[in-house]
Structure 1
Amino acid sequence: MHDRVRRVRDRTDRGPTVTAAGRLATLADVAILAGVSKATASRVLSRPELVSPDTAARVLAAARKLGFVPNRAARQLARGRSGVVAVVVPTLDNAFFTPIIAGAQAAAGRADLQLTVAVHPLAEVGELVAFERLSHQVDGFIVVAPRGADDVVRLAIGHKPTVLVDREVTGASSVVADTATAFGALVSRFVEQGHERIAYLGGPDGSWQNRQRTAAVVAAAGGLAELTVLGPYPSTFEAGVRASADVLASGATAVVPYATAIGLGLMYVLRGDEHRGRSLTVSSERMVVDALGLVGVPAIDVDGEHLGRVAAERLIEAIASGGDAERSSLRLDVPVRWPVEP
């Protein structure tokens, strides 16, 4: 054993990251070089406060010399975890989910967790088999299921700690961007500006957020303006193009689309001078308003990365508590930016 220690020390003096046998250094090599047991070396690398400062210093110095990288996956497995969390989205076609995934990944990375993405609409009971299979491979879920029935969603999230994003189900933790309140504020402001006819282009059939937004715009119009609710529409550019004829037929002078893509399709059809003689204001998101230089257009600003980050942080807390964390719904404010009055 002393010969082996000498060989390892000889090599670490020259700064290599492999042992004399030509392989990557292991925890056992670190323990030998530090003159401690493998269990003590492991304890130093995971819970250094449990050993003496001198011992911890020796082990950490040995690890640095050997270029040893702790096997995080092994540590997670030792705690009965995989070290992996999943973001489940209904489709990859909707750009709204991209920043949510990015925010969740950033939070997971800070917690030393790997994030994976899976596509499960959770629209029917038949999907639960695949979802349960995935639950055996991860420690928890961030689920974006805007259209799944409550009963199906409850069954799906019953296997592991879960945080829902942009919908609420009784008994489940959730983080929601409060776009319904923002949509209601849009309609109220349009009414104040003198718009007598307003159109709302509804989102996908069965969408939880669409139900919330529809209720909010109806309440805001409340007999103060004629509100035409059109749809349901999928969250696509093509849907906005198709909706243009109905919008024009409604006589609306202000439009609130469920999704940015729908609004862009509508604006594309109504661009230029084709419909001169009537002014039509279509709300959008801040990035689109700024990029296109739109004048007089109110903008809704949903911070998808923040939404995903908060959801991941709540999930990490739930995992750490063994699933005993309080289950509650958190609604994040969604600001509305109004055009500067001339």
Structure 2
Amino acid sequence: MSTLADVAALAGVSKATASRALSRPELVLPETAGRVLAAAEQLGFVANRAARQLARGRSGLIALVVPTLENSYFTPVIAGAQALAGEHDMQLTVAVHPLAHPDELVAFERLSAQVDGFIVVAPRGPDEVVAAAASSKPTVLVDREVAGLSSVVADTAAAFGSLVTRLVDDGHERIVYVGGPEGSWQDAQRTEAVTRAAHGRTSLVRLGPFPSTFAAGVSVLPAVLEARATAVVPYATAIGLGLMFALGDRPASSRVVVSSERMVVDSLGLVGVPAIDVDGDELGRVATGLLLDLVDGRGGAGTERAQRRLPVPVRWPAGA
């Protein structure tokens, strides 16, 4: 295995100079940094990835910022982002910053000094706080749109609207939408979509706001029963699972359809349950691709930021 001394010898510099060229290239002449980097790459020196990034004035690190680690929705998004980052010789780190208050910007700025860019999931933060956080480094938002910032959104709002339309077509006369956390951007989008789909066609009851938790789903059962719902569209999978658990083997449970995600429907062998199928892996990959373009200057200052919406299919029970 090659050592720093081998790199220094091949580059014709001292070991100290080689170390500076790999860790702090701004402290040596550009031609010296180039020779050291070339030597490191030729020898397969273990620090060559970091050296390449540092020689370009970068850390080689991007951060994916989520509001919490308790929501399993973020898991495939993180996986997809990490996979694409690795394919481009970048490292992904995950940090928790809800960005709900301006006070959080101090900690966010500390992280900003260590990374080349951000993928930010901030469903509840005010636009001005999110924009301020994104002002220091290239940033791509996930499942949120703010003017002037690049973003990728899984178009669950359209899927929820399609779901309600189909439920009405299938004869459901009382549909409940269980809303998400207060201030959630996606919840506002979904609420508008289900309201528009139900308008003039069926009775729609909107409950919430609720956190995206199993406990919230359990707690909403009395309100669902009071509404005499025949179908429930929950904001989040965890809410739906809690409601299904609370319904249990009650007589009413056989008459209430609670939509869920494909993995849950398949894993539990649920019959007659429509499934919303968000591809979190793709969401993470697309967001990372947009961010790498920004970091590399392919979407630099003065260019129009990309705001992409990815289609979200709804899968219906066989024969339905």
User: Does residue 313 of the first structure (1) align with residue 293 of the second (2)?
Assistant: no
Matches within 5 A, 1:139-218: 139-218=116-195
The structural deviation recorded for 1:41 is: 4.9
Consecutive unaligned residues in structure 1, runs of 5 or more: 1-16, 47-58
Structure 1 residues 226-245: Cα deviation after superposition (integer angstroms, max 9, x where no partner) = 00000110000000000011
The structural deviation recorded for 1:154 is: 0.6
Q: Distance in 1 between matches of 2:81 and 2:197?
A: 33
1:27 corresponds to: 7
The structural deviation recorded for 1:31 is: 4.3
1:99 corresponds to: 76
CA distance 1:39–1:91, shift in 2 (3 Å): closer
Secondary structure of 1:121's match?
A: coil
**TM norm structure 2:** 0.88
Q: Distance in 2 between matches of 1:119 and 1:179?
A: 23
2:248 corresponds to: 271
Q: Distance in 1 between matches of 2:34 and 2:132?
A: 43
CA distance 1:106–1:79, shift in 2 (3 Å): same
The structural deviation recorded for 1:337 is: 0.3
2:25 corresponds to: none
User: Does residue 138 of the first structure (1) align with residue 118 of the second (2)?
Assistant: no
CA distance 1:45–1:326, shift in 2 (3 Å): farther
The structural deviation recorded for 1:275 is: 2.2
User: Does residue 341 of the first structure (1) align with residue 319 of the second (2)?
Assistant: yes
Structure 1 residues 216-235: Cα deviation after superposition (integer angstroms, max 9, x where no partner) = 00000011000000011000
Which piece of structure 1 moves more, 76-85 or 248-257?
Answer: 76-85
- Verify the 8 A CA contact 1:30 1:68 in the aligned structure 2: no
User: Does residue 81 of the first structure (1) align with residue 58 of the second (2)?
Assistant: yes
The structural deviation recorded for 1:269 is: 1.1
Q: Distance in 1 between matches of 2:54 and 2:32?
A: 18
Residue identity in the other structure for 1:320: D
The structural deviation recorded for 1:127 is: 0.6
Q: Distance in 2 between matches of 1:43 and 1:265?
A: 55
1:330 corresponds to: 308
2:267 corresponds to: 291
From 260, 276, 286, give the equivalent of 1:300: 276
**TM norm structure 1:** 0.83
CA-atom RMSD in angstroms: 2.0
- Verify the 8 A CA contact 1:184 1:217 in the aligned structure 2: yes
Secondary structure of 2:251's match?
A: coil
Consecutive unaligned residues in structure 2, runs of 5 or more: 13-30
Aligned pair count?
Answer: 300
Q: Distance in 2 between matches of 1:264 and 1:277?
A: 13
The structural deviation recorded for 1:74 is: 2.6
Secondary structure of 2:62's match?
A: strand
- Verify the 8 A CA contact 1:143 1:162 in the aligned structure 2: yes
1:240 corresponds to: 217
| % same residue | 64
1:127 corresponds to: 104
CA distance 1:39–1:329, shift in 2 (3 Å): closer
Moved over 4 A (4+): 37-46
Q: Distance in 2 between matches of 1:74 and 1:190?
A: 57
- Verify the 8 A CA contact 2:8 2:36 in the aligned structure 1: no
Q: Which structure is larger by alpha-carbon Rg, 1 or 2?
A: 1
The structural deviation recorded for 1:78 is: 2.1
CA distance 1:25–1:69, shift in 2 (3 Å): farther
Secondary structure of 1:199's match?
A: strand
2:234 corresponds to: 257
Secondary structure of 1:206's match?
A: coil
